[in-house]
């Protein structure tokens, strides 16, 4: 008696082949998320640097800071008595004219005066008096929060 052996294994020798060049059905978003997080960090670091105009040493106070929703008009008075609105220097008369243009639509808009700690009180009052004479009644002084105590 003889015995015959067939091609061994179950399934009759057939193998299923997977497609070798099947397209990827999902997109990897990890690199995009990485780039977006880096951009977010860059903007978070750069944003505070863009809001400050002329560097002045502000006086300190114990009062709490105000929550102001609209972008206020800010005049800066430097140690040498120069007046700035943003980064642009003006004489007192030019500054008052520029402020009048900026608040023409809203007569109740606040106007802030930033002055260096060492600026003469009379110089700050001269600027505030000129603003008041021009019809602006909502004038405030900018101070820094006291540290410690």
Query: Is the residue at 90 inside a domain?
Result: yes
Query: Is the residue at 67 inside a domain?
Result: yes
Tallying the residues shown for the chain, one arrives at 149
Query: Is the residue at 72 inside a domain?
Result: yes
Provide CB contacts within 8 A for 98, sequence distance 6+. Answer: 85, 90
pLDDT for res 37: 95
- SS3 (DSSP) at 68: coil
User: Is pLDDT at 68 greater than 60 in this prediction?
Assistant: no
Query: Is the residue at 98 inside a domain?
Result: yes
Global pTM?
0.52
Whole-angstrom Cα distance, residue 116 to residue 143? 9
Query: Is the residue at 5 inside a domain?
Result: no
User: Is pLDDT at 13 greater than 70 in this prediction?
Assistant: no
CATH number at 120 reads: 3.30.420.270
Whole-angstrom Cα distance, residue 58 to residue 63? 14
Whole-angstrom Cα distance, residue 76 to residue 56? 8
Query: Is the residue at 81 inside a domain?
Result: yes
pLDDT tens-digit readout, 39-63: 999 988 887 766 656 777 777 877 7
The domain of 64 spans 60-145
pLDDT for res 12: 53
Q: Count of domains in the chain? A: 1
Query: Is the residue at 91 inside a domain?
Result: yes
Residue 33's pLDDT band, with cuts at 50, 70 and 90, is: very high
Query: Is the residue at 76 inside a domain?
Result: yes
User: Is pLDDT at 4 greater than 70 in this prediction?
Assistant: no
């Amino acid at each position: 008696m003889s015995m015959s052996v067939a091609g061994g294994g179950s399934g009759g020798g057939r193998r299923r082949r997977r497609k070798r060049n099947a397209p990827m059905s999902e997109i990897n978003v990890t690199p995009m998320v990485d780039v977006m997080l880096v951009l977010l960090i860059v903007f978070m670091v750069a944003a505070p640097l863009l809001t400050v105009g002329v560097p002045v040493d502000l006086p300190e106070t114990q009062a709490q800071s105000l929550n102001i929703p609209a972008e206020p008009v800010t005049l800066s008075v430097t140690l040498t008595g120069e007046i700035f609105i943003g980064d642009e220097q003006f004489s007192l008369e030019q500054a008052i004219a520029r402020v009048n243009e900026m608040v023409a639509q809203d007569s109740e808009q606040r106007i802030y005066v930033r002055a260096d700690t060492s600026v003469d009180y009379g110089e700050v009052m001269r600027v505030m008096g000129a603003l008041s004479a021009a019809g602006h009644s909502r004038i405030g002084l900018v101070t820094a929060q006291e540290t410690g105590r």
